[in-house]
Amino acid sequence: MREEEKIFAGQFYNPGHPDLTAMKLRCHNLCHDFNNTYENEREKRAALLKEIFAEIGEGSSANGPITIHYGCHTTMGKNVFCNFNLTIQDDGKVTIGDRVNFGPNVTIVTPQHPLLPDERSFLKTKDGRTLRLCYAEPVTIGNDCWFGANVVVCPGVTIGNNCVIGAGSVVTKDIPDNSIAVGNPCRVLRTLSDADSMRHRPELFGDEEFVFD
């Protein structure tokens, strides 16, 4: 089994294997190219994002800099906005839905390491080889989510549709649909409702009139 297949099978893999190293180097170089573009070079940025990610939907964009580990393990839906300093360590698969907004400094991680220090340094095989290994757990983010600044999404987490994740949160467990969740570790505060509609904030309207369905 190839090292990449081991990742998706939930098995130990060697992050230093030449096949994986080549994949990461390709993505890192593309991120370097993206981060050296100007903000108004929209077509060039869009083309680079299509090279970086396995799939990226129409209307999705990112402010630089970005730091993506593999890229080819991440799919992103339509009209996703990524603010400054997005980091995705996508050893395992990362799936991002449509119309997701990421605030500055959002980090998504999938790899896990052995907890005991000796095992983290290396594991010994029955035939006497010593290997530095890790494993990964996929992350899934639903549609229409908003992530505040400095959110960290940990390995194995699924975040449902229509969720708001408060700034500085560390998401260690699944978040159900239609939730506001905050904190470290991130906890669901409550379910979103009509009470959260901007229809109840007329002081924000200024001279505009708005229609709410």
For helices 18-35 and 42-52, the axis angle rounded to 10 degrees is 170
- Catalytic annotation present for 113: yes
Distance (Å) of CA 135 to CA 72, 73, 110, 126:
17, 14, 8, 19
Three state DSSP letters for 11-51: CCECCCCHHHHHHHHHHHHHHHHHHCCCCCCHHHHHHHHHH
> Which of 28, 69, 113, 200 is the catalytic position?
113
Adjacent-strand bridge partners of 170: 152
Residue corresponding to tokens 């993506």: 68
What amino acid positions are annotated as catalytic residues? 113
